[in-house]
Amino acid sequence: MSRLTREQQESYKSEGYLIGMPAIFNEKEVEQLRAGYKRTLDMLNEDETPSDIIGWHQTSRWQYDICSHPQILDYVEDLLGPDFYLWGSEFITKSPRSGKVVPWHQDSYYWPLSPHHSVTVWLAFTDVDEGNGAMKVIPGSHKGGLVQHKIADEASILSFQLEDGTFREDSAVTLSIPAGGISLHDDAIIHGSPANPSDRWRIGYVIRYSSTDVKCDLEKNPKFKAYLMRGEDRYRHNPQGDIPTDDFARPEFSKRIRKRS
Ligand SMILES: O=C(O)CCC(=O)C(=O)O
């Protein structure tokens, strides 16, 4: 098991993201991940897409176990400190030649969480790179505070996006990750991803963690559940979730709940 070096932690603090850690899952395990993903897709209704697989770690043990992988938790602990919980997960999939775009945005603009102290793990189920619509980040942009968003364009899979000219797009860095590997990003970093013009799939599983002092406004997200992953929850700000027992099961709710109200 590896931990983040002091340099990596400092780099995360100043740039707002981190890549280059050894892969979490080997080739054989990636095959198992994809098999689990396929089983999960089989549970979707006809009018649903992979984007509707959101928060299913609450009912699917297979997903919960990925989210609580000890190596992933070690890295998150190195960034958030000893006491933190899991609260979110979703698949962000782009099929070959998909025009789907994730517009430039800041996660914390969407989330009714405070204070802002959350880390997202982006786990690659396929190789992701410049050619197939990998995520891009604006290094250091997490330090600039929240920027006003506007209603997103049609091809976007989110509801809000940043106004043009509010940041320097030419400083963007593409987060290329081999299948089984991860990136880590801060909840205020400006990020997004372009379409996938290639013949390859681009499948990412994003997992969200917050330190235990972070409180959710339950009026805005009544389904919110915290799953303590490490340490102790001295604050007890949030309802706790029950660890799922079924390997593959979907929650009652399934629609995206990312709109900021
Ligand atoms: O997968 C992507 O392209 C974007 C992911 C994202 O927006 C997020 O993790 O918050």
CB within 6 Å of ligand 1 — which residues? 92, 102, 107, 120, 122, 135, 191, 193, 204, 206
Residue 254, pLDDT score: 57
Residue 159, pLDDT score: 79
Q: Whose CA is nearest to atom 7 of ligand 1?
A: 192
Residue 57, pLDDT score: 98
**Phi, psi angle pair for 55, to nearest 5°:** 75, 15
Taking the centre of ligand 1 as the mean of its atom positions, its distance from the CA of residue 221, in whole angstroms, is: 19
Residue 28: CB atoms within 10 A of its CB come to 9
For residue 162, what are the β-bridge partners?
A: 149
Strand residues in the chain grouped as ranges (E): 17-18, 84-94, 102-106, 113-114, 118-124, 136-137, 149-151, 160-162, 173-174, 182-186, 190-193, 202-211, 215-216, 227-230
pLDDT by 10s per residue, the chain, length 261 = 789 999 999 999 999 999 999 999 999 999 999 999 999 999 999 999 999 999 999 999 999 999 999 999 999 999 999 999 999 999 999 999 999 999 999 999 889 999 999 999 999 999 999 999 999 999 999 998 888 888 887 777 777 888 877 888 899 999 999 999 999 999 999 999 999 999 999 999 999 999 999 999 999 999 999 999 999 999 999 999 999 999 999 998 655 544 333
> Which domains are seen in the chain, by residue range?
6-230 (2.60.120.620)
Nearest ligand 1 atom to alpha carbon 135: 3
Which among 182, 232, 188, 211 is positioned nearest to 72, based on CA atoms?
182
User: Are the C-beta atoms of residues 150 and 207 closer than 8 Å to each other?
Assistant: no
Q: Which three-class secondary structure state does DSSP give residue 176?
A: coil
Strands of the sheet with 190-193, listed across from one edge: 102-106, 190-193, 136-137, 173-174
Residue 150, pLDDT score: 82
Residue 1, pLDDT score: 79
Residue type at 16?
G
Using CB atoms within 10 Å of the CB of residue 261, give its burial: 0 to 12 exposed, 13 to 18 middle, 19+ buried: exposed
Residue 253, pLDDT score: 66
Rounded-to-integer distance, Cα 118 and Cα 135, Å: 18
Residue 260, pLDDT score: 36
**Phi, psi angle pair for 210, to nearest 5°:** -135, 155
